[in-house]
Structure 1
């Protein structure tokens, strides 16, 4: 299990902390951390790609907790990522 910290940008996926609309089936204007958390809740049980400054993760979003998410990676590892450190979110 890993706990990830940091911020990053990746032009290929939607920026979750840059006040830009998140497109897809459930568009979102993620202007605040609550907006981002609510958007993440709509993606629960779906395959997503999450980036931070240090890494990019892909897998199924298992849970959205008070201040972190739980992601099940393809290899079976569980990753805990603080919501405040998520830079980008995209559905896979």
Structure 2
């Protein structure tokens, strides 16, 4: 007999936790990149599945009034101190 919590297998609980963490992380990072309330989406994504993901896709990803973010905006240009001329 495998260990269980409230009659549900430990492996199922682990899968649920991993699923919620992955969803919340993805919602937070994508919303931050798009400037769409990342903390709200990330926290909501940690407590429910799949409703936050569906709502995010409907209101943020499929919203035609918002422009697609620049993929290069995630990268920061770091200046090399040796490139500066005195």
Alignment TM class, shorter chain as reference? under 0.3
The structure richer in helix per residue is: 2
TM-score, normalising length from structure 1? 0.22
Larger relative contact order (C-alpha < 8 A, sep ≥ 6)? 1
**Bigger radius of gyration, 1 or 2?**
2
TM-score, normalising length from structure 2? 0.23
